[in-house]
Amino acid sequence: TVDVGSLISSPSAANHELQKLSLALSSWGCFQVVNHGMTDSFVDRVHEISKQFFDLPKEEKHRYIREPDSIEGYGTDMIVAENQTLDWIDRLYLTLNPPNQVQLKFWPEKPETFREVLHEYSTKLQVLHDVMLKAMAKSLKLDESVFLRMIGEPVIMSARFNFYPPCPRPDQVLGLKPHSDGTVITFLLQDKEVEGLQVLKDGQWFRVPVIPDALVLNAGEHLEIMSNGEFKSPIHRAVVNSERKRISLAAPSIPHDGNEIEPVEGLVSEERPRLFRKMKYNGRTHLRYYQSGRRVVDDARI
Ligand code: AKG
């Protein structure tokens, strides 16, 4: 776990926390964010609106159905290839920021508090996002804004509500196929009670335990590139079970379209050769990576 309260308190507490953060990102590529400033009761409201939305009758949810060729809105796994293995999932995808890209027509009007709670969550996450990216830069002894400058400000963030229904044959399907995130970072609010997230390390799958009200932070592939491989973007998957439904809420951030992503200056030297070439970020292309099983880091590796 990384304690955000300590990160912004006394220098010695912050230093200790920064070391934990960089160790976690260089070995696992993820950690659990605790003491992040959101109250337990607020996080409960986020869980509530997610659950209430997926509990709505089908016709109501279908008011927000995804349009062809778009990722925004509600639907099952997207079909992009004939021989694709489908994920056992329903999903609601919404852009959170910047405001001019928000498509409010996809934001559910039921439950009544949905829009207000999601908006507040988004505002808080955007602040936390910058705090975490600055902490990551500091943990590598870099100027704190170096990653934020490269990805571009303000942050581009979306929300992906994942609903995994119980499955009579959980051994035959996956909620989400193994993948790493083509993002900068992803905040993940796991289901409060039902586990399902697993991370691959040294050829083995490890369960990520549920810590109520904590947020899992996954390093995205663009962070791996910017950090010249110091931080790893973990391969992870979601499993399902036969009895209980599970809901998670992922909030990925991505670079601005057209921004050039490459290892930052301070991390490339004679002793540390550059591992990745410069890539121009293109949202549309990168979205296809997940379905095709490709990884941005593999394409960018020298
Ligand atoms: C994603 O949305 O990218 C995830 O990996 C979600 C994993 C989960 O449901 O715990």
Q: Which numbered atom of ligand 1 lies nearest the CA of 250?
A: 2
Q: Check pocket membership of 108 for ligand 1, CB cut-off 6 A.
A: no
Q: Check pocket membership of 89 for ligand 1, CB cut-off 6 A.
A: no
Q: Check pocket membership of 182 for ligand 1, CB cut-off 6 A.
A: no
Q: Check pocket membership of 33 for ligand 1, CB cut-off 6 A.
A: no
Q: Are 122 and 96 in contact (CB under 8 A)?
A: yes
For 241: left if phi > 0, alpha if psi spans -120 to 50, otherwise beta; the answer is beta
DSSP character string of 229-264: TSS----EEE---SS--EEEEEEEEEPPTT-EE---
Choosing from 183, 188, 249 the residue with most ligand 1 atoms within 8 A of its CB, the one to mutate for a pocket test is: 188
**Two tokens, residue 138:** 């500091």
Q: Are 257 and 224 in contact (CB under 8 A)?
A: no
Q: Check pocket membership of 246 for ligand 1, CB cut-off 6 A.
A: no
Give per-residue burial for 8-44: e unless 16+ CB within 10 Å, then b. eeeeeebeebbebbbebbbebbbbbbebbebeeeebe
Rounded to the nearest angstrom, the distance between the alpha carbon of 184 and the centre of ligand 1 is 15
Choosing from 186, 207, 217, 241 the residue with most ligand 1 atoms within 8 A of its CB, the one to mutate for a pocket test is: 186
Rounded to the nearest angstrom, the distance between the alpha carbon of 248 and the centre of ligand 1 is 7
**Two tokens, residue 196:** 């399902």
Choosing from 50, 192, 197 the residue with most ligand 1 atoms within 8 A of its CB, the one to mutate for a pocket test is: 197
Walk along the chain (302 residues) and give the pLDDT tens digit of each residue: 999 999 988 889 899 999 999 999 999 999 999 999 999 999 999 999 999 999 999 999 999 999 987 889 999 887 777 777 788 899 999 999 999 999 999 999 999 999 999 999 999 999 999 999 999 999 999 999 999 999 999 999 999 999 999 999 998 889 999 999 999 999 999 999 999 999 999 999 999 999 999 999 999 999 999 999 999 999 999 999 999 999 999 999 999 999 999 999 999 999 999 999 999 999 887 777 777 778 999 999 99
Residue 130: predicted pLDDT = 97
Q: Which numbered atom of ligand 1 lies nearest the CA of 218?
A: 5
**Atom 9 (ligand 1) nearest CA:** 248
Rounded to the nearest angstrom, the distance between the alpha carbon of 32 and the centre of ligand 1 is 14
Residue 217: predicted pLDDT = 98
> CB count, 10 Å around CB of 292?
10
Q: Is 193 helix (H, G, I), strand (E, B) or coil?
A: coil
Q: Are 64 and 74 in contact (CB under 8 A)?
A: yes
Give the integer Cα–Cα distance in Å for 2 and 302: 32
- Give the ipTM: 0.97
Q: Check pocket membership of 95 for ligand 1, CB cut-off 6 A.
A: no
**Atom 4 (ligand 1) nearest CA:** 250
**Atom 1 (ligand 1) nearest CA:** 250
**Atom 10 (ligand 1) nearest CA:** 197
pTM for the model = 0.96
Choosing from 248, 253, 289, 290 the residue with most ligand 1 atoms within 8 A of its CB, the one to mutate for a pocket test is: 248
